Every structure is written in structure tokens, then in C-alpha cells.
Amino acid sequence: MKKFSKVLVVIMALVMVLAFSACGEKTGGTLSMATEATFPPYEYYDGDAIVGIDVEIAQAIADKLGMKLEITDIAFDSIIPGVQSGKYDIGLAGMTVTDERLLEVDFSNSYATGVQVVIVKEGSPITSVDDLFGDGNYTIGTQTGTTGFLYATWDIADEGLGTVNSYAKTTDAIEALKTDKIDCIILDSAPAQALVEANADAGLIILDTEYAVEDYAIAMQKGNTELQEKVNKALDELIADGTVQKILDKYITD
């Protein structure tokens, strides 16, 4: 009996050690981030590595929280469902805060401004955003599930003023524009600029007029106030000490 209880004590001690180390792992833990990595300079591939503004901001937040950042590249319209279900802790993808998305996820404070612009081929009859609402009946390329896609659908397709073609990747939309399958693309300005530069021989230009101005923020599971508070605290510190601006300036030069 005595021997038995000794064994029990040892087993209990072992269980406690294991339980504690598991807890330790969880508080240090991994911060899993979902993104869609055809969105330079916010997220894109450099060789096999995903790099960019969002990656650096997420890494800085993870560092502050003492967590290891783990990035998964998925379709843009899978990010919110992935965060909603708890599969990923955070979604960073140059993601705009919208009323519709706020019904599905919570957002951090905003860390950047996004501007929706229009990319056309040189010589296009589309010379300003207003032309999209004329009688040109244009085909507009967008990335599936983005605000560009929603604006084009609501403002143009649903009004019978044109057609929307949507693509999983921004790079697929660029290819479609280059091969005249679509007349223009509605996209966020920094990626638009980076993609136009990356395709310098294709004669793509960005119209001067803006379609919309938006706020980018980090998506998190609805109701996970503990995570939201931690992320906001870290983000606010990184904004206050100039780190976020430094990261933005590193990637966006004009």
C-alpha cells in the first residue's frame, strides 16, 4: 500500500509537470496568421518565404507577446472563415474593415490606410473611375471576396452597367488584363503599384482618380476579447514608437 501510494505520487507529480509545461507552451505558444500572399508589398513571396508589411507587423506583435508567428497562405475569401472558426488566430492581408466583416470577425485598431484604384492598359477608353459607370459595359477584374470585388458587384454589375470577373490571385487578374480578357482591375493602390511595376513591359497604368479609401486592420475571432486586447496593446505600442510607420516606409516609398 505504501509502495503503491509512492508510485501514485510520482505519477501525479509527472502529470503536473507535463500539465505545466503544456500550459507554458500555450502562453508562449504560437500565433497563427492567415494571409493571401499575392498582395505586395503587404504579403508576397521572396523565394519560399512570405515577406512584407503585414508579416513584419505580425512578427513584431508576436515578439511582444512572446509567441512564435506561424503564417499560412490561403485564398483571400478563406481568411475570415478560418479566423471565425478559430483555425487561425489572426488574419492579416491588407484587410479592410467593413460593416459586413464586422458581423463575422472582430478587428484590431487600424494600422494602415488602403486606397482602391483602377488599373487599365495604356490607351484604354477608361480614363477615370466615372467611366466605369458609363455605357461602356466594361468587364472588371477583381480578387474574389475583396472590397474591390464587392464594389464592382454592387455598384456596376448589379446595376447592369458591366460584368465582374473574379480571380483567386491578384496575379491572375493582372494576366487577364494583359491578355485583354478584362478591361480593368479594381485593387488596393500599393499592390496595384507593385504589380504594375513587376509587369513593366505590359503597359499597365493606374488611373489618378480613387475608387474608395479604407482602413486596414487585423481580423480576429469574434468575442475573443483577450486576444483582441493583447493584439491592440502590442499594436498601439508599435504605432506609438514609430515601428509601424518604419515598416510601411520600408516598403512604400512614395
> Residues interacting with ligand GLN, by CB under 6 A?
36, 39, 76, 93-96, 114, 143, 146-147, 188
Q: In whole angstroms, give the CA distance from residue 198 to residue 71.
A: 24
DSSP letter for each residue of 110-175: --EEEEEEEEEETT-S--SGGGGGSS--EEEEEETTSHHHHHIIIIIITTTSEEEEEESSHHHHHH
Q: How far is the CB of 39 from ligand GLN (least distance, A)?
A: 4
Q: Which is nearer to ligand GLN, 65 or 170 (CB)?
A: 170
User: Closest distance between ligand GLN and the C-beta of residue 15, in Å?
Assistant: 45
Shorter beta-carbon distance to ligand GLN: residue 124 or 171: 171
Alpha-carbon distance of 242 to 244, in angstroms, equals: 6
Residue 76 or 111 with smaller CB distance to ligand GLN: 76
For ligand GLN, the closer of residues 44 and 138 by Cβ is 44
Amino acid (one-letter) located at 239: I
Kindly write down the DSSP assignment for every residue of 14-39, as one continuous string: HHHHHHHHHHHHHHH-EEEEEE-SEE
Closest distance of CB 110 from ligand GLN, Å: 12
What Å distances lie between residue 31 and 26, 56, 88, 104, 193, CA to CA?
10, 13, 8, 20, 30
At its nearest, how many Å lie between ligand GLN and the CB of residue 20? Answer: 40
CB-nearer residue toward ligand GLN: 25 or 46: 46
* Minimum gap (Å) between residue 123 Cβ and ligand GLN: 27
